[in-house]
């Protein structure tokens, strides 16, 4: 039970006026976390670290841990990868709560949200090629962040020269947005300047990852997102999009990435090996070490999770 709820019950049962604290959404909504793998291949060491951190944080908060299969980018989906990921999680003792959602089954929901933004006058078509976007940003003297060239809004007032749209963008507010990340601290970004108006629907008709993630987290009532630092730069734009839709942005924690011997992010594109589920404790200990913790003196999967949850609580001062 949350402190706020307890006080409400006391007020009702005793009729003594109590001063209620001002709860933020993160303290009054029950903790709901999630793991959202894209089924482009089996889990590898890098994705296991992200799964582990979100699982531990949910369990440490006595919260729910949901699973979402991010198969919106259909050309990248590998056949059977979702089934393999679920089996890997089970073998590692990571049990999820509630029903799994597949993004590919939610297209009508995304279309409704897209229509909502369109009715708000926030969507416009853009005919710019990748090359044009880069050269326009360069001419405007905008370097962008993380090598990402911002879109300068070339087609905001309409597409010139009767060309067809290659994508549909949403108008982002020109303002600095700040959030506090539980791992890396405070971050501020003006999305309109650093990124520009975001693509929400692609030329091939697929809704953009940045849009559907925001809708999914809202619909699943996610209060806390724990994920890798490769997604840190996406957070301000996702939160701004959430606010435009009237959603409350979740609390964030971005954990360090697991790098290979050459300093590259471990990923399916970099041919990372699938995790060894035949030796689950060893695989779990390796992911645990990647999060900066010492090896736990345990021999079974259940003992691993008990000890890891306790250590996580202590490390992050979770009641």
Using CB under 5 A, list all residues that contact Zn ion: 126, 128, 154-155
Structure tokens at 170: 């949403």
Give least dist CB 146 to Zn ion, A.
21
Give least dist CB 170 to Zn ion, A.
13
Distance between CA atoms of 100 and 160, rounded to whole angstroms? 44
Give least dist CB 239 to Zn ion, A.
24
Q: Nearer Cβ to Zn ion, position 119 or 130?
A: 130
Q: Nearer Cβ to Zn ion, position 47 or 154?
A: 154
Give least dist CB 162 to Zn ion, A.
14
Q: Nearer Cβ to Zn ion, position 152 or 291?
A: 152
Q: Nearer Cβ to Zn ion, position 69 or 137?
A: 137
Give least dist CB 131 to Zn ion, A.
12
Distance between CA atoms of 90 and 128, rounded to whole angstroms? 45
Q: Nearer Cβ to Zn ion, position 69 or 126?
A: 126
Give least dist CB 64 to Zn ion, A.
41
Give least dist CB 200 to Zn ion, A.
14
Q: Nearer Cβ to Zn ion, position 148 or 276?
A: 148
Is residue 174 within 8 A of residue 190, CB to CB? The reply is: yes
Q: Nearer Cβ to Zn ion, position 69 or 127?
A: 127
Per-residue H/E/C for the chain:
CCHHHHHHHHHHHHCCCCCCCCCCHHHHCCCEEEECCCCCCCCEHHHHHHHHHHHHHHHHCCCEEEEEECCCCHHHCCCCHHHHHHHHHHHCCCCCCCCCEEHHHCHHHHHHHHHHHHHCCCEEEECCCHHHHHHHHHHCCCCCECCECCCCCCCCCCCHHHCCCCEEEECCCCCEEEEEECCCEEEEEEHHHHCCCEEEEECCCCECHHHHHHHHHHHCCCCEEEEEHHHHHHHHHHHHHHHHCCCCCCEEEEECCCECCCCCECCCCCCCCECCCCCHHHHHHHHHHHCCCCCCCCCCHHHHHHHHHHHHHHHCCCC
Distance between CA atoms of 174 and 168, rounded to whole angstroms? 19
Give least dist CB 130 to Zn ion, A.
11
Structure tokens at 296: 């736990």
Q: Nearer Cβ to Zn ion, position 167 or 225?
A: 167
């Amino acid at each position: 039970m949350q402190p706020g709820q307890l006080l409400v019950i006391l007020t009702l049962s005793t009729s003594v006026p109590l001063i209620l604290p001002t709860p933020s959404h993160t303290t009054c909504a029950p903790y709901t976390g999630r793991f959202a793998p894209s089924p482009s291949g089996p889990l590898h060491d890098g994705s296991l670290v992200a799964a582990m951190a979100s699982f531990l944080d949910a369990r440490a908060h006595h919260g729910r841990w949901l699973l979402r299969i991010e198969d919106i980018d259909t050309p990248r989906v590998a056949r059977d990868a979702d089934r393999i990921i679920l089996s890997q999680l089970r073998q590692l003792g990571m049990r999820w709560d509630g029903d799994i959602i597949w993004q590919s089954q939610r297209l009508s929901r995304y279309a409704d949200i897209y229509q909502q933004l369109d009715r708000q006058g926030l969507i416009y078509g853009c005919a710019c090629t990748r090359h044009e976007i880069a050269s326009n940003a360069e001419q405007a003297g905008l370097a962008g962040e993380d090598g990402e060239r911002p879109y300068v809004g070339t087609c905001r007032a309409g597409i010139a020269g009767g060309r067809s749209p290659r994508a549909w963008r949403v108008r982002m507010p020109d303002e600095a947005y700040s959030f506090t990340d539980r791992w890396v601290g405070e971050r501020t970004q003006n999305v309109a300047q650093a990124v520009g108006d975001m693509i929400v629907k692609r030329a091939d008709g697929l809704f953009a990852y940045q849009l559907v993630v925001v809708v999914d987290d809202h619909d699943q009532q996610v209060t806390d997102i724990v994920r890798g630092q490769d997604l840190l730069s996406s957070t301000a734009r996702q939160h701004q999009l959430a606010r435009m839709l009237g959603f409350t942005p979740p609390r964030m924690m971005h954990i360090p990435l697991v790098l290979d011997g050459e300093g590259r992010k471990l990923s399916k594109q970099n041919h990372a090996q699938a995790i060894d589920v035949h030796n689950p404790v060893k695989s779990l200990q390796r992911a645990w070490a990647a999060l900066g913790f010492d090896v736990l003196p345990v021999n079974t999967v259940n003992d691993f999770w008990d000890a890891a949850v306790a250590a996580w609580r202590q490390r992050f001062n979770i009641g």
